[in-house]
């Protein structure tokens, strides 16, 4: 073929150019923005960030949210994927329904759970019927930090379990049935087979799901603003505030840097801990 050598490069050129301009350049610029103040290189933005009243809360809240939401999502999705293996009729419709939250933005998910958890909301109506409370009660103020945290966590879990489920289901689908059958033949209980055969085989999918979910959970912010307003600061909501209300891109960039460093560190940890040696892949 004439030009056969150049063709693949021509085909990837537009995408490469696009990503270079709109991904690599902004990435470098954010670093510059974060480490520059008044035209000189400095840590001023980072010290402004660290001195900010909300900084400590934002870091703690972000980590707490990830620490609760991601494991729950993972276990829930794994349970759902395992249940689906035993479903024959109606599997497709179940999968569709269960993946609906995939299309829901974190802003919309926040609003949905606000409707349920607000003073005159559905949760309080249930509690009223059960005789737990007599009148509308507030759960989402700074006076009820624990309830507020769980409200945000529930909304995040509700929205983003679907993505973990999809990745795991996709992984389960390519698992060879023979391995599980072999385990059963040698007398392994279903639980034993699950822990010793299914889980290790699913490791690549589990790794992908955990990386994606952890990175995205550190990015959650609209869900937090919708449910808790400013009562529950997280890292990205602080970045949004510094950019939007204080018009200070430098400090916002410093927050973005923190999120980036955490994301990369989390990714590396998952890559190392859940490594699949070549040759062991299913």
Pick out residues in 43-72 that bind another protein (CB under 8 A): none
Burial class of residue 88, CB neighbours in 10 A (0-12, 13-18, 19+): exposed
Does 229 sit near another protein (CB under 8 A)?
yes
User: Which residues, in sequence order, are CB contacts of 266 under 8 Å at separation 6+?
Assistant: 211, 214, 215, 218
From candidates 152, 201, 210, 222, binder to another protein by CB under 8 A: 222
Q: How far is the CB of 7 from another protein (least distance, A)?
A: 7
From 17-25, 42-50, 61-69, 145-153, span contacting another protein (CB under 8 A): 17-25
Q: Rule CB under 8 A: which of 176-205 touch another protein? A: 204-205
Nearer to another protein (CB atom), residue 197 or residue 270:
270
From candidates 148, 153, 201, 226, binder to another protein by CB under 8 A: 226
From 56-64, 66-74, 137-145, 235-243, span contacting another protein (CB under 8 A): 235-243
User: Which residues, in sequence order, are CB contacts of 236 under 8 Å at separation 6+?
Assistant: 62, 218, 219, 220, 221, 255, 256, 259
Distance, in Å, from the CA atom of 36 to the CA atom of 178, rounded to the nearest integer, reads: 59
Does 142 sit near another protein (CB under 8 A)?
no
Q: How far is the CB of 59 from another protein (least distance, A)?
A: 15
> Smallest Cα–Cα separation from 270: which of 209, 201, 189?
209
From 38-46, 55-63, 143-151, 234-242, span contacting another protein (CB under 8 A): 234-242
Distance, in Å, from the CA atom of 156 to the CA atom of 151, rounded to the nearest integer, reads: 9
Distance, in Å, from the CA atom of 81 to the CA atom of 71, rounded to the nearest integer, reads: 15
**Chain centroid to CA 211:** 8
**C-beta of residue 180 within 8 angstroms of C-beta of residue 244:** no
Does 166 sit near another protein (CB under 8 A)?
yes
Helices (H) and strands (E) in the chain, counts: 15, 2
Q: Rule CB under 8 A: which of 100-129 touch another protein? A: 100-108, 110-116, 118, 120-122, 124-125, 128-129
Nearer to another protein (CB atom), residue 29 or residue 196:
29
Q: How far is the CB of 97 from another protein (least distance, A)?
A: 6
From 37-45, 49-57, 143-151, 161-169, span contacting another protein (CB under 8 A): 161-169
From candidates 56, 192, 244, 275, binder to another protein by CB under 8 A: 244
Does 95 sit near another protein (CB under 8 A)?
yes
Element (H, E) at 268: helix 249-273
Does 272 sit near another protein (CB under 8 A)?
no
How many residues interact with another protein (rule CB under 8 A)? Answer: 98
Distance, in Å, from the CA atom of 26 to the CA atom of 13, rounded to the nearest integer, reads: 19
Q: Tokens 């009729």 identify what position?
A: 89
For residue 220, is it left (φ>0), alpha (ψ between -120 and 50) or beta? beta
Nearer to another protein (CB atom), residue 96 or residue 186:
96
Nearer to another protein (CB atom), residue 183 or residue 239:
239
């Amino acid at each position: 073929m004439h030009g056969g050598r150049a063709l693949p490069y021509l085909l990837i050129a537009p995408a490469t150019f696009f990503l270079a301009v709109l991904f690599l350049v902004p990435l470098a610029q954010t670093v510059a923005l974060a480490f520059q103040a008044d035209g000189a290189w400095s840590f001023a933005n980072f010290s402004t960030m660290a001195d900010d009243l909300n900084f400590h809360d934002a870091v703690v809240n972000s980590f707490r949210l990830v620490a609760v939401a991601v494991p729950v999502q993972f276990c829930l999705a794994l349970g759902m994927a395992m249940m689906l293996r035993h479903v024959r009729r109606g599997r497709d419709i179940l999968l569709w329904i269960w993946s609906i939250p995939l299309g829901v933005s974190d802003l919309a998910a926040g609003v949905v759970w606000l409707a349920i958890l607000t003073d005159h909301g559905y949760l309080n109506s249930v509690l009223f019927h059960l005789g737990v409370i007599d009148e509308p009660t507030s759960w989402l103020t700074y006076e009820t930090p624990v309830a507020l945290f769980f409200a945000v966590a529930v909304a995040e879990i509700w929205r983003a379990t679907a993505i973990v489920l999809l990745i795991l289901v996709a992984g389960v689908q390519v698992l060879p049935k023979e391995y599980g059958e072999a385990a059963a033949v040698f007398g392994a209980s279903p639980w034993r087979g699950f822990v010793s055969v299914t889980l290790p085989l699913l490791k690549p999918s589990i790794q992908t799901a955990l990386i994606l979910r952890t990175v995205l959970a550190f990015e959650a912010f609209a869900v937090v603003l919708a449910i808790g307003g400013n009562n529950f600061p997280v890292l990205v909501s602080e970045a949004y505030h510094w950019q939007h209300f204080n018009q200070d891109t430098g400090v916002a960039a410093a927050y973005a840097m923190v999120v980036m460093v955490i994301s990369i560190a989390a990714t590396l940890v998952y890559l190392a801990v859940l490594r699949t040696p070549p040759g062991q892949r299913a």
